[in-house]
Amino acid sequence: MLVTGGAGFIGANFVHYTVRNHPDYEVTVLDALTYAGNQASLDPVAGRVRFVRGNILDAPLVNRLVADSDIVVHFAAESHVDNSLAGPAAFIQTNIVGTYTILEAVREHGVRLHHISTDEVFGDLALEGTDKFTEQTAYDPSSPYSASKAASDLLVRAWVRSYGITATLSNCANNYGPYQHVEKLIPRQVTNVLTGQRLKLYGEGLNVREWTHVDDHNAAVHLILDRGRSGETYLIGSGDERSNRQIIEAILAAMDQPADAFDFVPDRPGHDLRYSNDSAKIRAELGWAPVYGDFREGLAATIDWYRANEWWWKPQKAATEARYAALNR
């Protein structure tokens, strides 16, 4: 199995999950170690996986690694919306051209692909409402990040239809858990508490996200690898929707901080209002169900992980906050 982006948040957790639960796979990780990648995230499985530092835009390298694989799980991406607004170029290259590079290699070698994507390709839902995205929802992305992910999904579908490659896709909502970069909402706020800084809430904090534990996401990916049908898209989501303000309040309470220890900061341009996935298809067809049923428990375990692993996140913290300061966020 070739795992692209295996030194990032979800990819590293996927590699851990695979080694733990599917030891029959021989795993090779291909990762460029951008600012978002950290080879130390793979320390717990060192010796069990092969690590190749390289770029998915490097077609000869990708071709060689794909030729040696039976299956490719493609996580590598530029993943942060705020970064895409500040500088979209890397998103076009990695997310679109990089996926194209993978597609050409799997086509040449007849290797099966699973493409990891996001619910952000569908745009957003009204704040007040109970409707959800489904596999049939039309694509309507808002940010350079989500537009680049939408483009990559459409390329995968076209390569299935026109070239007959074997590929599946999944679109998950927001993930949380260990090894997530401190630029993302939950790790940023937890590490703000741990470094004595106030928490930062965009706009009025009313925007809603659906939170899925990273291990539940990765369990779903393995079910798709085992029994997913080629050409199909599977939406993944826990059903646990929370406003950003609720998330901040939960973090402050869990970390024994005053309830008002946060600031409202200028909103993200084009900020998607609400995400929510209808995951009925993967639940019915593949029997997936989240095991992290209690968000507060999962959050508490995640906070404990950041407390215990300052060595992992501290080197990134100051540079990340400097990037936010430049955006006034």
Cite the active site residues. 119-120, 145
Q: To which residue do tokens 């996927």 refer?
A: 14
Min. distance of Cβ 66 from ligand NAD in angstroms? 13
Residues in 240-299 that interact with ligand NAD by CB under 6 A: none
CA distances from residue 95 to 47, 74, 111, 142, 324 in whole angstroms, order as listed: 29, 10, 20, 15, 23
Q: Which residue is nearest to ligand NAD (CB)?
A: 8
Tell me the C-alpha distance between 287 and 283, whole Å.
Answer: 5
- How large is the C-alpha radius of gyration of the chain? 19
For residue 15, the one-letter residue type is V
Q: Is 83 in the site for ligand TDX (CB under 6 A)?
A: no
Question: Which of 201, 250, 252, 299 touches ligand TDX (CB under 6 A)?
Answer: 201
Min. distance of Cβ 211 from ligand NAD in angstroms? 9
Number of shown-chain residues binding ligand TDX (CB under 6 A): 16
Q: Is 169 in the site for ligand TDX (CB under 6 A)?
A: no
Of the listed pieces 20-28, 75-83, 104-112, 230-238, which binds ligand TDX according to CB under 6 A? Answer: 75-83
Report which DSSP code applies to 97: I
Tokens read off for 39: 């080879």
Tokens read off for 22: 């599917």
CA distances from residue 75 to 36, 186, 187, 196 in whole angstroms, order as listed: 12, 20, 20, 33
Of the listed pieces 31-39, 198-206, 253-261, 317-325, which binds ligand NAD according to CB under 6 A? Answer: 31-39
Per-residue contact string for residues 96-135; x = within reach of ligand NAD by CB under 6 A: --x-----------------x-x-----------------
Contact 176, 120 (CB under 8 A): no
> What residue ranges bind ligand NAD (CB under 6 A)?
4-5, 7-11, 31-34, 36-37, 55-57, 75-79, 94, 98, 116, 118, 149, 172, 174-175, 181
